[in-house]
Amino acid sequence: MAQVSSIADEQASTPLSSPKSIVLRISKFNPKSDESSKFMEFTVPYQKWTTVLEAILDVKKHFDHSVAVRYSCRQATCGSCGMMINGKPKLACFTKISELDSDVVTVEPMNNFPVIRDLTVGFEKLFEKHQKIQPYLIRDDSELESDEREFLQSPQEVEQYIQFANCIKCGLCNSACPTMATDSSFVGPQALAQAYRYVADSRDKGKDSRLNIIDESHGIWRCHFAGSCSQVCPKGVDPAMGIQFLRGYLLGFRS
Amino acid sequence: MKESTIMKIHYGTALASVGLVAVHILMRLTTGFADSLSYENVLANYQSVPYVIMLELILILLAVHGFNGLRVILLELKQGRVYEKAVSYGSMVGMIVLIGYGSRTIIMTNMGMT
């Protein structure tokens, strides 16, 4: 059953001069002891700059410090605080309450990931799939000799892959992917985008190896181009486009 | 077989099916749509060898495309080594049975065994 609590005036991290408040609904679930998730409700004041993460941390500080949430940098760089915010996968530190345009903010753990507790999900499979596509430069002369220079690239060559290098492994794309909802073996948009990031890199010579890895029954062909991955990426990466480019290599349209 | 080869066949059979089914539907217009579907006219179609070859091709293309599509849907629905093998081989068997049964019908009708 939901419990509604309010932060006492003197305790709120957001000054109570703020006339605005929202009801923050937090999903609580411990797979070790609970059969299903339940929502706890808290009334939290906010300013126009207050983020969802700050509201959750207010709740942790003043009402229920057992709320499990993973966070670190608070500036959309570490990719730790991905969660479902009002039904959409977003970074809690990068989402302002004021921009949600709602009096009720519901936070849940990301879809398509195993829940560790409350808002925290397990990233083992994400990192396993990321590692599987060989996310590093592959070259015959991989070690630089002391008298050699760095591998040079033209701005045009950098342009081919640079947006994909912005991936912070937050898992929002995998959470939004409709294929991942039913196919747990699907390699996923995150890993596929990273496969393209290295395939498109002029310094890399591991294209054939990577294309072989993703060319399997739960690989690139299971993408149905819903495009949700690109919609939710907080860093402007376009995994759906990368996947289509990779398909171009496999179908012989690109070389 | 590599998944990319299977998907190339999948896309190829889709494109070829669209072309041949279009011809098949246009053929209905040669004698008026309703007349072309009368029992005698349908049987008469099977006496034309080029048309029979086209029907056989449509059967093969649609069976290959359809059963591969079914395989893909089932693979996305559930995972597991045994299940995936069963789906892959089951789709293959289903495809062969359908092509076999359809070919039998086409050949028998062509030979006048109605």
Helix (H, G, I), strand (E, B) or coil at A147: coil
Instruction: Kindly list the domain boundaries of chain A, sorted by start residue.
Output: 4-121, 124-251
Interface of A with B (CB under 8 A): 179, 182-186, 215-219, 221-222, 250-251
CATH of the domain at B59: 1.20.1300.10
Closest partner residue to B84 among A179, A217, A219, by Cβ?
A: A217
Q: Cα–Cα distance between A37 and A193 in angstroms, integer?
A: 32
Closest partner residue to B76 among A179, A215, A251, by Cβ?
A: A179
Please, how many CA atoms are within 13 Å of residue B13, restricted to the half-sphere of its CB?
A: 19
Structure-derived torsion over alpha carbons of residues A113, A115, A119, A121, reported in degrees to the nearest 10: -50
Helices (H), A90-170: 97-100, 124-132, 155-159
User: Could you give the number of structural domains in chain B?
Assistant: 1
**Using 50, 70 and 90 to split pLDDT, how confident is the model at A46?**
very high
Predicted confidence at residue B113, as pLDDT, reads 83
Q: How many other CB atoms are there within 10 angstroms of residue A214's CB atom?
A: 25
Return the minimum-mean-pLDDT range out of A19-28, A104-113, A136-145: A136-145
| Residue B1 touches chain A, beta carbons under 8 Å | no
Average pLDDT, chain A: 92
**Chain A residues touching residue B77 (CB < 8 angstroms):** 182-183
Give the domain A124-251 fold: Fumarate Reductase Iron-sulfur Protein; Chain B, domain 2 (1.10.1060)
Q: Cα–Cα distance between A219 and B2 in angstroms, integer?
A: 11
Distance from CA of B83 to the nearest CA of A (A): 13
Q: Do A215 and B4 touch (CB under 8 A)?
A: yes
**Chain A residues touching residue B84 (CB < 8 angstroms):** 217
* Percent with pLDDT over 90 in chain B: 77
Which of B 12-71 lie inside 8 A of A, CB atoms?
A: none
Beta strands in A98-148 (DSSP E): 104-108, 115-117, 120-121
Find residue A118's DSSP bridge partners.
none
Q: Cα–Cα distance between A41 and B85 in angstroms, integer?
A: 47
Average pLDDT, chain B: 93
Predicted confidence at residue A1, as pLDDT, reads 43
What DSSP assignment string belongs to B2-46? -HHHHHHHHHHHHHHHHHHHHHHHHHHTTS-HHHHTSHHHHHHHT
Picking from A179, A210, A217, A244 by the largest number of B CB atoms within 10 A of its own CB, the best residue to mutate is A217
Span A162-185, pLDDT tens digits: 999 999 999 999 999 999 999 999
Return the minimum-mean-pLDDT range out of A13-22, A133-142, B19-28: A13-22
**Chain B residues touching residue A186 (CB < 8 angstroms):** 76
| Residue B77 touches chain A, beta carbons under 8 Å | yes
What DSSP assignment string belongs to A207-219? HHHHHHHHSSTTS
Span A97-136, pLDDT tens digits: 999 999 999 999 999 999 999 999 999 999 999 999 999 9
**Chain A residues touching residue B89 (CB < 8 angstroms):** none
Q: Which CATH class name applies to A4-121?
A: alpha beta
Span B46-88, pLDDT tens digits: 999 999 999 999 999 999 999 999 999 999 999 999 999 999 9
**Using 50, 70 and 90 to split pLDDT, how confident is the model at A144?**
low
**Chain B residues touching residue A182 (CB < 8 angstroms):** 76-78
In terms of residue numbers, what domain contains B32? 3-110
Q: Do A217 and B2 touch (CB under 8 A)?
A: no
| Amino acid identity, position A3 | Q
